[in-house]
């Protein structure tokens, strides 16, 4: 029987992979992909707790807000990436060190 723990473990693995992606990637788009993985794992947690632990619909509402904010974040992030590409001709985050003292 599938229970709450199965979902929590799947979402834990997704979170760790997303964290690994964010920590190791030097490509700004790769980092954004890692952030999307982390947000998806948080959403799985919201829905799993909404089904098995609270029984209401509030978790689903929060999942929709997370998806909405993820869309806004992706749009702004990619606009910044494009601006960075026009300025530095690369999207390697190590190259953008103009503010380094």
Partner 1 sequence: MSAPSLSDLVFFLIAGLTVVSAGGVAFSRNIVYSAFSLMGTFLGVAGLYIFLAADFIALVQVLLYVGGILVLLLFAVMLTHRIGDIRISNRAVGSLPALAAIAVVGAVMAKAVTSAEWHAAEVKPPGPTAAHIGNLFLTDYLLPFELASVVLLSALIGAVVLSRKELRD
CA dihedral 78, 32, 27, 93 (to 10 degrees): 80
- Distance, first Cα to last Cα, the chain: 57
Q: Is 96 one of the binding residues for partner 1 (CB under 8 A)?
A: no
Nearest distance from residue 97's CB to partner 1, in Å?
15
CA angle 60, 74, 96 (to 5 degrees): 145
CB of 42 to partner 1, least distance (A): 11
Instruction: Report which DSSP code applies to 51.
Output: I
Binding-site ranges for partner 1 (CB under 8 A): 1-2, 4-10, 12-21, 23-27, 29-30, 32-34, 36-37, 40, 43-44, 47-55, 57-58, 60-61, 63-65, 67-72, 74-76, 78-83, 85-86, 90-92
């Amino acid at each position: 029987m599938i229970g709450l723990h199965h979902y929590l473990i799947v979402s834990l693995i997704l979170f760790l992979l997303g964290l690994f992606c964010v920590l190791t990637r030097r490509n700004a788009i790769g980092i954004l992909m890692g952030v999307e993985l982390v947000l998806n794992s948080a959403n799985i947690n919201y829905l799993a707790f909404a089904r098995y632990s609270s029984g209401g619909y509030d978790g689903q509402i929060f999942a929709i807000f997370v998806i909405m904010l993820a869309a806004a974040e992706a749009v702004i992030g990619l606009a910044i990436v494009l601006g960075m590409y026009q300025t530095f001709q690369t999207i390697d985050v190590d190259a953008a060190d103009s503010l380094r003292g």
